[in-house]
Copies of this chain bind each other. A is one copy, B any other.
Amino acid sequence: MKKLINAPADVVVEALAGLAAAHPKLGVDLEHRVVYRADGPVPGKVGLVSGGGSGHEPLHGGFVGFGMLDAAAAGEVFTSPVPDQILAATQRADGGAGVLHIVKNYTGDVMNFEMAAELAEGTEIATVVTNDDVAVEDSLYTAGRRGVGVTVLLEKIAGAAAEERRGLAEVAAIAQRVNDRGRSMGLALTSGTVPAAGKPTFDLPEDRIELGVGIHGEPGRRRIPLPSAKEAATLLVEPVLAELQPSEGVLAFVNGLGATPLLELYLLYGEVAALLDKHGVPVVRSLVGPYITSLDMAGASVTLLALDEELLRLWDAPVDTPGLRWGA
């Protein structure tokens, strides 16, 4: 295993320290492994908290900042943060208007966020659980569908709603709407390697890919021969469209899982856009790049979000985080 690290046990805390050092608008509580807005909590604003296992960067710590999250709790690589960490993040985000927990649907995450919400006495908590991955119904770490790419879009859009000083119920409803209107599907060309394990999470023959892979390398639908980019676009977009049936324009998000270069992601995006055009689905906004990754896994996922007027406006609103930044 070749990685630019010191000791595997220190990877997460050292990476968080580096993130905070690079971005003066962020603070980091290294004891609880919580990244938070240095100017927070923002009085009167609904606080947005997310978190989960590390290894998906920039998700979640890289999405802390104006217009997106107020705090994020980082578990060990591919391991849920514990309730105390989530509680610490919740306190960092609590500006007196309630806190929204944004949770990807993995059994450990859901349980630990629930426990943290119970511990956060005196703070009103709402929770949204993302479960946008159409690949499989249940999975290695999940009852029901997995939460993947839509989480990025939800954190941006709900974050913009919170900046408008909407109340907790409204922000939660918008977040829920994003989840309900978004679907994803991914594929892996190679496995990633967890630093503490020191070897690839799974083996994939040189001529096979994993279709419907999860962001921790969980098995997907099936292993198939390496498709062309055009075929890959079809394999990813069709199952999403079959469920989503968007009547208006979509946000098309082509996400890199880590080791796949931007050259390939843009090439794939071109195929995705052409296919959507063939289906008569207008692409109103797009996002291309590695935003929810799986360490050094090669592969990509496609997320489609059926926009409406309000979601589009909130997507376009200014944001200032390490991972997404515009208009600010």
Q: A residues engaging B (CB < 8 A)?
A: 2-6, 11-12, 14-19, 21-23, 54-55, 57-58, 62, 77, 189-190, 206, 209, 226, 228-230, 232, 254, 258-271, 273, 286, 288, 290, 293, 295-296, 298-300, 320, 322, 325-328
A18 and B293 form a contact (CB under 8 A)? no
A22:B326 contact, CB within 8 angstroms: no
In the complex where A229-B6, A261-B295, A296-B259 touch, is A14 in contact with B325 (Cβ < 8 A)?
A: no
User: In the complex, what distance in Å separates the CA atom of A12 from the CA atom of B263?
Assistant: 8
Q: Give the shortest distance, in Å, between A180 (CB) and chain B (any CB).
A: 25
A-B contact pairs, 6 of them (CB 8 A): A6-B267, A11-B263, A21-B273, A22-B266, A22-B288, A325-B326
Of the listed residues A17, A21, A58, A232, the one surrounded by the most CB atoms of chain B closer than 10 A to its CB is: A21
Measured CB to CB, the closest approach of chain B to A150, in angstroms, equals: 18
Q: How far is the CB of A21 from chain B (nearest CB, A)?
A: 5
| Residue of chain B at shortest CB distance from A258 | B261
Given contacts A58-B262, A286-B22, A300-B4, contact A267 B14 (CB under 8 A): yes
How far, in whole Å, are A16 and B267 apart by their CA atoms in the complex?
7
* Complex interface: chain B residues within 8 A of A263 (CB): 11-12, 15, 54-55, 57, 77, 295
Q: Which of B5, B260, B269, B300 contacts A229 (CB 8 A)?
A: B5
Q: Which residue of B lies closest to A24 (CB)?
A: B286
Pair B229/A262 contact, Cβ less than 8 Å? no
